[in-house]
Structure 1
Amino acid sequence: MASASNYSTAPVSEFLLICFPNYQSWQHWLSLPLSLLFLLAMGANTTLLITIRLEASLREPVYYLLSLLSLLDIVLCLTVIPKVLAIFWFDLRSISFSACFLQMFIMNSFLPMESCTFMVMAYDRYVAICHPLQYPTIITNRFVAKASVFVLTRNALLTAPIPILTAQLRYCGKNIIENCICANFSVSRLSCDNFTLNRIYQFVAGWTLLGSDFILIFLSYTFILRAVLRFKAERAAVKALSTCGSHFILIVFFSTILLVVVLTNVSRKRVSMDILILLNVLHHLIPPALNPIVYGVRTKEIKQGIQKLLQRGM
């Protein structure tokens, strides 16, 4: 049946996701670490959200930004990983036309939203370290509300044309996606139309959004580093470097793995398709698993908040 739909000329109503076409025999083994990472990501982000929601001392602007990051991580995980695990465990490869493009929209919009949230959080750290006296007047609840609206609106509007352009293409035969997810490039290659405009728009939008965010993040941490090196108190300098250093490393990891995914899409003939698929899946799983640990659990106030919640539960 899959073969027939792959070569028929009837309009496509659903797609078939084929994960790791060359290594399908070890998908069950791969599902174990993916499941553990998924549980870690969901558990850590949910715990962080509950702690910030219930602990009165954490109702401050910086923790609201952390909540936004956790919400984005949860949505990304739930959009991608359950379907991947369903393919691995139950061979549920089919995905409807509308569900595929909904998944594509969420992936294309929420990843830049996460990048933009990193940028706002980097600005928060810049103000806290470089202008500590002005911090309470600059980083307010009003600022966080405006920043959240900006994060959601900018990225949703600028990335919406990607799934719309892909959905407007004619799919008159092939419906087998060689990927675990409905990535734009993987889906648009199946169309009968020319999808050059689609590729150009995603390339320009992606580099504009993510590139501008990373430049601003880099500048923020450059100013932070310069300010920290001027600290006379060595202990304060070490603490600031430790906190901001771990944040910046995580942001670089997020940006680097995304860059690898883009480059491997462009040069797919030189890179194994299975490696590309694995990178796509991991990029929606590893950052959500690490973000709440690096940004949240390592923070003294959140540690104390989690301990209080655990004590209440006991």
Structure 2
Amino acid sequence: MLYPNETHPLAFILLGIPGLEDVQCWISIPFGCMYFVAFFGNCVILFVVRTEKSLHEPMYFFVSMLAVTDLVLSSSTLPKMLSIFWFNWREISFEACLTQMFFIHSFTAMESGFFLAMAFDRYVAICNPLRHSSILSNNAVLVMGLSVVFRAVVFFSPHPFIVKALFFCQTNIIPHTYCEFMAIIKISCGDAFVSKAYSLTVASMIGAFDLMCTVASYTLILRTVLSLPTKEAGLKALSTCSSHICVILVFYSTAVFTFLTHRFGHDIAPQIHITIANIYLLVPPMLNPIIYGVRTKKIRQRIARVLCFSMR
């Protein structure tokens, strides 16, 4: 029986990428590679920060928090997505769908919050270096990390309850590769204006607040760098921010595009929208460990020592 209580189905059917069913097997190859890199790379980052005492600093603690977020975010979507592409296992239970939806939206918000925390760390390190250790003590870092998690959980916990209160009287087929809140809302019956407005408002407010504060931090950093007595000192200060700026650009560029397509892009082809939505969840978790591993000297040196030791 599809609708045991006449309100919601026992399970949803995820279509994958509508219009690209014939090539989904080929699409799964780069997606699977991205997941492998994301999983392996973030595990390496966590191992390196955990075992190298010189990396027990606020910046690398935040990098570790970001790595955990990326692991959860990619692991909550890719395995099911690949099962659709490879084995045509499209069914997902109603409860599992709500769980996946909560993890996707809440951990995306956590990622944005950790980017802001890292920007604040760079601001203090460059603009007020003498007080860096006192302002960003271990307790302060812990409080900031817990605050980011708490904010995401509080604002996105209503999503599963909103979906449970909806009626699904026509179909249980979700034209997407994962249980996205807006995709579920679109197949529900009745007026879902309030539900859409809540989700878009919360996501836009959190994203806009984090982005504006991050931009403000780097504006102050740039002003401080330009006032340094030598060009070399300024370049050295900026080099500590380069990896962070790279991952922020990747994250927010895809996030903004995804948000705008939900809000205004009604004429965009579904396969384009869904592909971008997948990139939004897969590319940042893949690139973050690569960028930090390549552009952060301490992490790069530690990884090189580990590799050299394992090859002996």
Report what 2:210 is aligned to: 213
Change (3 A) 1:192 1:123: same
Q: Which amino acid aligns with 1:226?
A: R
Question: Aligned equivalents of 2:294 and 2:138: distance in 1?
Answer: 22
Given that 2:2 and 2:10 are in contact with CA atoms closer than 8 Å, whether structure 1 keeps it comes out as: no
Report what 1:272 is aligned to: 269
Change (3 A) 1:201 1:10: closer
Report what 2:198 is aligned to: 201
Matched, 1:155 2:152: yes
Given that 1:10 and 1:173 are in contact with CA atoms closer than 8 Å, whether structure 2 keeps it comes out as: no
Question: Aligned equivalents of 1:199 and 1:275: distance in 2?
Answer: 21
Matched, 1:182 2:179: yes
Map of 1:100-179 to 2, 5 A cutoff? Answer: 100-179=97-176
- Which range is displaced more, 92-101 or 36-45? 36-45
2:26 to 17, 25, 29: 29
Question: Aligned equivalents of 1:111 and 1:200: distance in 2?
Answer: 18
Q: Which amino acid aligns with 1:113?
A: M
Question: Aligned equivalents of 2:65 and 2:72: distance in 1?
Answer: 11
> How much has 1:294 moved relative to structure 2?
2.1
Given that 2:243 and 2:296 are in contact with CA atoms closer than 8 Å, whether structure 1 keeps it comes out as: no
Matched, 1:298 2:292: no
> How much has 1:258 moved relative to structure 2?
1.0
Change (3 A) 1:226 1:302: same
Given that 1:38 and 1:81 are in contact with CA atoms closer than 8 Å, whether structure 2 keeps it comes out as: yes
Unaligned runs of 5+ in 2: none
Q: Which amino acid aligns with 2:166?
A: L
Q: Percent identity?
A: 37
3-state SS in 2 of match to 1:241: helix
Q: Which amino acid aligns with 2:17?
A: F
> How much has 1:241 moved relative to structure 2?
2.5
Superimposed CA distance per residue, residues 84-141 of structure 1 (whole angstroms, 9 cap, x where no aligned partner): 1111111110000000010110111111110000000000000001111111111111
1:96 to 72, 89, 93: 93
Given that 1:28 and 1:88 are in contact with CA atoms closer than 8 Å, whether structure 2 keeps it comes out as: yes
Given that 1:129 and 1:224 are in contact with CA atoms closer than 8 Å, whether structure 2 keeps it comes out as: yes
Given that 1:77 and 1:288 are in contact with CA atoms closer than 8 Å, whether structure 2 keeps it comes out as: yes
> How much has 1:312 moved relative to structure 2?
3.5
Q: TM-score, normalised by structure 1?
A: 0.93
Report what 2:283 is aligned to: 286
Matched residues, number: 309
Report what 1:84 is aligned to: 81
> How much has 1:10 moved relative to structure 2?
8.0
Matched, 1:49 2:52: no
> How much has 1:82 moved relative to structure 2?
1.1
Q: Which amino acid aligns with 1:186?
A: A
Given that 1:100 and 1:182 are in contact with CA atoms closer than 8 Å, whether structure 2 keeps it comes out as: yes
> How much has 1:49 moved relative to structure 2?
0.4
> How much has 1:167 moved relative to structure 2?
2.1
Superimposed CA distance per residue, residues 30-66 of structure 1 (whole angstroms, 9 cap, x where no aligned partner): 1111111111111110000011111222222221111
Given that 2:243 and 2:295 are in contact with CA atoms closer than 8 Å, whether structure 1 keeps it comes out as: no
Change (3 A) 1:208 1:11: closer
Report what 2:16 is aligned to: 19
3-state SS in 2 of match to 1:284: helix
Question: Aligned equivalents of 2:78 and 2:233: distance in 1?
Answer: 40
> How much has 1:73 moved relative to structure 2?
0.2
> How much has 1:254 moved relative to structure 2?
1.1
> How much has 1:268 moved relative to structure 2?
4.3
> How much has 1:163 moved relative to structure 2?
2.4
Q: Aligned-residue CA RMSD in angstroms?
A: 1.8
Q: Which amino acid aligns with 1:22?
A: G
Question: Aligned equivalents of 1:222 and 1:249: distance in 2?
Answer: 16
Question: Aligned equivalents of 1:262 and 1:94: distance in 2?
Answer: 26
Report what 1:225 is aligned to: 222
Matched, 1:75 2:72: yes
3-state SS in 2 of match to 1:285: helix
Matched, 1:60 2:57: yes
> How much has 1:256 moved relative to structure 2?
2.0
Question: Aligned equivalents of 2:145 and 2:266: distance in 1?
Answer: 40
Superimposed CA distance per residue, residues 1-23 of structure 1 (whole angstroms, 9 cap, x where no aligned partner): xxx969xx784110010112212
Question: Aligned equivalents of 1:290 and 1:236: distance in 2?
Answer: 28
